[in-house]
Structure 1
Amino acid sequence: MRLLLLLAFILIVSPTKAAQVAIIIDDIGYRQTDTAVLSLPSSITLSVLPHTPLGKEIALLANDNGHEIMLHLPMQALNGKKQGPGGLTNKMNEQEFKQTIDSALGSIPNVRGVNNHMGSLLTQMNEQMIWLMESLKQQDTYFVDSATTRYTKAGEMANKLGVPQLKRQIFLDNDVSETALEYQFQRLIKLANNEGQVVVIAHPYPETIRFLQSNLKRLEQQGLTLVKTSQLLPYQLAQKESKVTGSKTHVR
C-alpha cells in the first residue's frame, strides 16, 4: 500500500511538461524578403515594426497562418542610432510617449505582445518604463524585454504594474555564419533543458530562415516543444507561485 501511495505521489509531483522554446523573429516590415518568415511554422512568433511599408500586410497574412503577432517597438539607444517611425525617446513627455505607443499598436493588427527594438538607453529609465507598462496594461498586451542592456528596468517595472513579461535569453543570429548559428542553436537546446523554457530572438535574414527551416525538427528530437511566446507566460507565473509557496514553507 505504501509503495502504491509513493508511486502516486511521484506521478503527481513529477514534471510532465516538455521543456519549451519560444522563437521571436523581429525587425519585420521594411524588406520584401521579410515575407519569407511566412514559410516558418506557425509556432514561431513574428514581431513587426510599426508604420512600415509591409508591416500591416505581413501581420495580416501571418495571423491568418496562425502566427502570434507582436509589435517590435523602437526605443532610444545609447549609441544614438535612429529608431525609425514610432520610436520612443526620453525627450517625450508622458502624453507624447503614450500617444506614440498607441499609434504604433494601432498600425499593426492582431498584436498580442510587445518587445523593444534597440532601447539600451530608454529601458534603463524607470519613469519611461512605467509609462510603457501602463499603456501595455491598458491594451492587455504582454511584454518581452529584448535585453539590449544589462541595466534594463523594463522587467522590474512590468512586474510592478502586473504586466505579463518575459526576457530574451538568446540572440540566435548576431552572426549569421553556419558555425555561429549552430553554436547558438546548441546553446538554446541546453538552456531549455536546464531551465524548462527559453526565449530566443532572431531576425528575418535569409541565412536565419534557411537555418531554422533545416533545424527546427531537431527541437522535437531533443524532447523540446516549440511554442508561441504567450504560451510561456502561464509557465512562468506557475514557477513564481511555486517559488513563493516553497519559500513560505521554509519560514521559521
Structure 2
Amino acid sequence: MTALVLMLSLPAQANQKIAIVIDDIGYQKKDMSALDIPGELTFSILPFTPYAKRFAKQAQAKNKEIMLHAPMQALDGKTLGPGALTMDMPKEDFQSMLRTALDSLPNIKGVNNHMGSLLTQQNAPMNWTMEVLKEHELYFLDSKTTPKSKAQTVASLHGVDNIARHVFLDNITTQKQLRFRFDQLKRIAKRYDYAVAIAHPYPETFEFLSQALEELEHEGIELVPLSELVQARSLRLAQAKTTSLSSD
C-alpha cells in the first residue's frame, strides 16, 4: 500500500495507538447504538441528516469525539445528499455551505470527506476547504477514496493538521473479512506505532467491534480519539523539520 511508505512513526516512547472512525452517521435511528460500543471511537456525522444533531449531542454528553463527514463530489456521480460540495459551486457558495454544515453540529473536532474521489483531486476546492478548516482550527482526515487525492498536501500548505486513513474495516461485512481488516489494522499499528481505520454503521460492524476491541489492550495497543493521532503526527513533522533545519 503506497500510503504506508509515506507514514511517519510516532515518537519511540509512545504506545502503539489506533483510531477508528465510524463514518456515515446520521441517517438511521440505529446509528445511535454506535455510542454503546465501549472505547474511544470517533464518529463522523453527515450534516443535515435526521439524527445528526441528536447523535452529536449524545456523543458530546459521553465525551466522544465527533467530526463532520462532508459530502464531496465523486467520480461516479453518486448522489451526495444534503450539504454537498461540488465542482460547479463558486468559492463563496462552497465555503458558505461548508461553514453552515460545521455550524450545524456542536463540538466538531475535524472533517473528513464522504466520497470525494473527484473533489479531493482538485486544487481549488481543496484550498477552499482548508481555508475554512484553518479558520475553525479543525483537522482534516483524508478518507483516501482516491490515490490521487491532494487533500493532505493542500492541508499542510494551509497549516491544517491532517492524517490519512489506512484501512477500511468493513467494505465487506462478513466476519472473515472484518477479522482480516482488523488484524491488518493491528499490524500497521505495531509496525508504525499508529494506524487509522474507517468503518460504517452496519450491525455486523458494531457486533464485531463490541467484541474485538477488547483485544487491543491485551496486545499493548491503545484505542484513542483521532485528534490524538493527528496531534502526534503534527508534532513528529515539526520535530523532523526542526532537525532538518538545524543540520543544514
Shorter-chain TM-score tier:
over 0.9
What are the Cα deviations for residues 34-83 of structure 1, in whole angstroms up to 9, with x where unaligned?
A: 11101123510011000000000011001101100100000000000010
For 1:133-148, what aligned pairs fall within 5 Å after superposition? 133-148=130-145
Tell me, in whole angstroms, the C-alpha distance in 2 between the residues paired with 1:175 and 1:250.
47
Question: In structure 1, which of residues 106, 110, 129 is the aligned counterpart of residue 103 of structure 2?
Answer: 106
Q: Which runs of 4+ in 1 moved over 2 A?
A: 241-251
Work out whether 1:80 is the aligned partner of 2:77.
yes
* Structure possessing the higher relative contact order (Cα contacts under 8 Å, 6 or more residues apart): 2
For 1:5-20, what aligned pairs fall within 5 Å after superposition? 15-20=12-17
8 Å CA contact 2:39, 2:223 repeated in 1: no
Q: Structure 2 unaligned segments of length 5 or more: list them.
A: 1-10
Tell me, in whole angstroms, the C-alpha distance in 1 between the residues paired with 2:158 and 2:239.
21
CA drift of 1:29 comes to 0.3
Q: Tell me which residue corresponds to 2:239.
A: 242
Q: Tell me which residue corresponds to 2:53.
A: 56
Q: Tell me which residue corresponds to 2:188.
A: 191
Amino acid at match of 1:101: L
Q: Secondary structure at the match of 1:70?
A: strand
Greater shift in the superposed pair: 96-105 or 242-251: 242-251
- Calculate the TM-score normalised by the size of structure 2: 0.93
Q: Provide the aligned C-alpha RMSD in A.
A: 1.3
Q: Tell me which residue corresponds to 2:62.
A: 65
Greater shift in the superposed pair: 231-240 or 134-143: 231-240
Report the count of equivalent residues: 238
Amino acid at match of 2:95: K
8 Å CA contact 1:147, 1:167 repeated in 2: yes
Q: Tell me which residue corresponds to 2:225.
A: 228
Q: Secondary structure at the match of 1:73?
A: strand
Q: Secondary structure at the match of 1:112?
A: strand
CA drift of 1:249 comes to 6.1
Work out whether 1:172 is the aligned partner of 2:169.
yes
- Calculate the TM-score normalised by the size of structure 1: 0.91
Tell me, in whole angstroms, the C-alpha distance in 1 between the residues paired with 2:107 and 2:63.
11
What are the Cα deviations for residues 134-176 of structure 1, in whole angstroms up to 9, with x where unaligned?
A: 0111111111010100000110110000001111111000000
For 1:18-37, what aligned pairs fall within 5 Å after superposition? 18-37=15-34
Q: Tell me which residue corresponds to 1:44.
A: 41
Amino acid at match of 2:82: P
Tell me, in whole angstroms, the C-alpha distance in 1 between the residues paired with 2:242 and 2:103.
40
Structure showing greater Rg: 1
Work out whether 1:132 is the aligned partner of 2:129.
yes
